[in-house]
Amino acid sequence: MDQQPADIYAILGVKHDAGPDEIEAAFAAWSERALVESIDDKVWERVRYAYEVLSNPPRREIYDSLIIETTGSSLELDLALSTEGVPLLDTPYILYALLTLRPRHAVEERRPLNIGLVIDRSTSMRGERLEKVAAAVELLLDKLGPEDRLSLVSFSDRAEVVLPAAAIGTAAHSPDPATAAAWRNPHRQLESIVASGGTEIYQGLRAGLAQVATPSAKAYTNHLILLTDGHTYGDAGDCLNLATQAAAHGIGITAFGLGADWNDAFLDALVAPSGGQSHYIERPDDIFSHLDDRLQGLGAIHARNLTLSRSWPGQFTLRGAFKLAPLFQPLTADLAPIPLGDLEGRSPMAVLLEFLVAPQPIAARFRLPFEVQFTATNGAAQVAGRSARLIADSSCGSDDNRPPQALIEAVRWLNLYRMQEKAWEEAQSGRLDTAAARMRKLTTRYMETGDLRLARQAQLEAQQLAHSGTMSPEGRKMLKYGTRSLTGPDET
């Protein structure tokens, strides 16, 4: 999707302090150009939009208020709102805000990694799944640097330390004899993992966190990677407490669900306190590439522990918060502040917020501040902020706002994601006709996006709901994570 900041002054080709005459002249020049050469519709649309805003003093003032930057911050925060004015109504109004964060300078932090792998070894992992995990870990050992720390814990209804935490380069010569012995032959250690027993994720998490915890935590990028293929039994609450403690100690969590039989809502909740990601691994063959991608992301961090302050006025209720880029992840809208995770890699982070604005019976002006706190690469606490101004006025109609294209596109993807979540909830609670009808609608919507694989799956699920009253767990995971990945690639 188009995450570029739309500086409408640049689009029209005028300076930020241009007077009304210059703006008129610039638009006249564009109009003349349009007569003699063909201008792309999209470009023309943007030019016209830029002119409409800049030639209207109240709208220009609101736009200017959006582009005032917080100076001295190493992150740039761009803000797009679905409207500049709220109509006077006796019902609530829906407002969307799209926040885009990108590093101002291409400075990456090169801290060594401190990774704790927590691997499910319950009975269902037997065979290919565990073999591929072991093979993937061996390949990853070659990719890590000598300074990087790694540990590996396996768990079923209890946990064992397979590889104690140690720096890769010196692990085999560790002063601790048990550590040295394990690292002298990691291959044998990995092969010794036996699949049996149930899945108690708490056991694995606790043992994994004990390995990742280090006195020199600040010198490392500390991260726990959980890989499971099952539901945890009776300890979900304890797991979430542990995840919150981990986040407080600066330890991030990534959760991978393998196959179809795991609890996606639980894994999303588990990664929420640290602003981490949860992923679906469809086939054991994909384990290595998923883990490898994750380590590459952790290796290039521009800013860490981003959090969004809840600084908006009381008339604005946050209904939903979603990270759309670099990867889709639902955010916990009721935490304060809202954890956004680290800014990794080269792609910007995009966050979509949905607000319910309380009914506005009389004209008013609002200031809507957005503040993202984070730790910069030099360790300093910094803030990136943008403030929007909104008016509530009788001149505002309920649908004469012109949301930016990037925001419309973001809301479209979010809506698709919510529809498949709703269909699943309806199927779970026995409202099968509604679920099947929604799934048929989704088939059409996926077709519109051009993703035939998701469209076919939705069609199959709609048929299955109508005939047998269930959705397949595989289809459920494929639609959910397939829709999440739709939001990433740019097709426009």
Partner 1 sequence: MIVCLECRSQHYPGTLFCDMCGAAVHPSARAYLEASQAAAGHKSPIRAGSKRHTEPQPAPPYTPDQTIATPFAQPPALRVRVVQHEAELVLRGTQFNIGRTDPFSDFVPEFDVTRFDGQAHGVSRQHATIRWREEGYVLCDNHSSNGTWLNGELLEPGREYPLSAPGNVRFGGLLVQFTIAD
**Shortest Cβ distance from residue 50 to partner 1 (Å)?**
16
User: Which C-beta is closer to partner 1: that of 445 or that of 476?
Assistant: 445
The CA dihedral of 8, 13, 16, 18, to the nearest 10 degrees, is -120
Quick check: 92 binds partner 1 (CB under 8 A)? Answer: yes
**Binding segment toward partner 1, per CB under 8 A, in 18-26, 368-376, 448-456, 466-474:** 448-456
Residue carrying structure tokens 């679920």: 435
Q: Exposed, middle or buried: residue 273 (CB in 10 Å: 0-12, 13-18, 19+)?
A: buried
Alpha carbon distance, N-terminus to C-terminus of the chain? 7
Quick check: 425 binds partner 1 (CB under 8 A)? Answer: no
* Helical axes 432-449 vs 452-468, angle rounded to 10°: 170
User: Which C-beta is closer to partner 1: that of 376 or that of 408?
Assistant: 408
Give the residue, chosen from 206, 304, 386, 438, that forms a contact with partner 1 under the rule CB under 8 A: 438
Backbone angles phi, psi at 170, to 5 degrees: -120, 5
Give the residue, chosen from 4, 56, 311, 398, that forms a contact with partner 1 under the rule CB under 8 A: 398
456 closest CA partner among 469, 431, 474: 474
User: Which C-beta is closer to partner 1: that of 37 or that of 399?
Assistant: 399
Quick check: 93 binds partner 1 (CB under 8 A)? Answer: yes
User: Which C-beta is closer to partner 1: that of 6 or that of 376?
Assistant: 6
Beta strands in 88-139 (DSSP E): 93-103, 113-120
**Binding segment toward partner 1, per CB under 8 A, in 26-34, 56-64, 164-172, 415-423:** 415-423
The DSSP string of 261-295 is -S-HHHHHHHHGGGT--EEEE-SGGGHHHHHHHHH
User: Which C-beta is closer to partner 1: that of 324 or that of 416?
Assistant: 416
Q: Which positions from 351 through 380 interact with partner 1, judged by CB under 8 A?
A: 356-357
Quick check: 452 binds partner 1 (CB under 8 A)? Answer: yes
DSSP β-ladder status, 329-330 and 316-325: antiparallel
In one-letter notation, the amino acid at residue 379 is: G
Give the residue, chosen from 307, 309, 401, 470, that forms a contact with partner 1 under the rule CB under 8 A: 401
Angle at 256 between CA 103 and CA 160, to 5 degrees: 115
SS3 200: coil
Residue 93, beta-bridge partner list: 357
Q: Which positions from 236 through 295 interact with partner 1, judged by CB under 8 A?
A: 285-286, 288-290, 293
Q: Which positions from 152 through 171 interact with partner 1, judged by CB under 8 A?
A: none
DSSP-derived secondary structure letter, 450? T
Quick check: 306 binds partner 1 (CB under 8 A)? Answer: no
Give the residue, chosen from 66, 135, 210, 383, that forms a contact with partner 1 under the rule CB under 8 A: 135
Q: Which positions from 6 through 45 interact with partner 1, judged by CB under 8 A?
A: 41
Residues that bind partner 1 (CB under 8 A): 41, 82-83, 86-87, 89, 91-96, 135, 139, 285-286, 288-290, 293, 326-327, 346, 356-357, 398-399, 401-403, 405, 408-409, 411-412, 415-416, 418-419, 422, 438, 441-445, 447-448, 450-453, 455, 485-486, 488-492
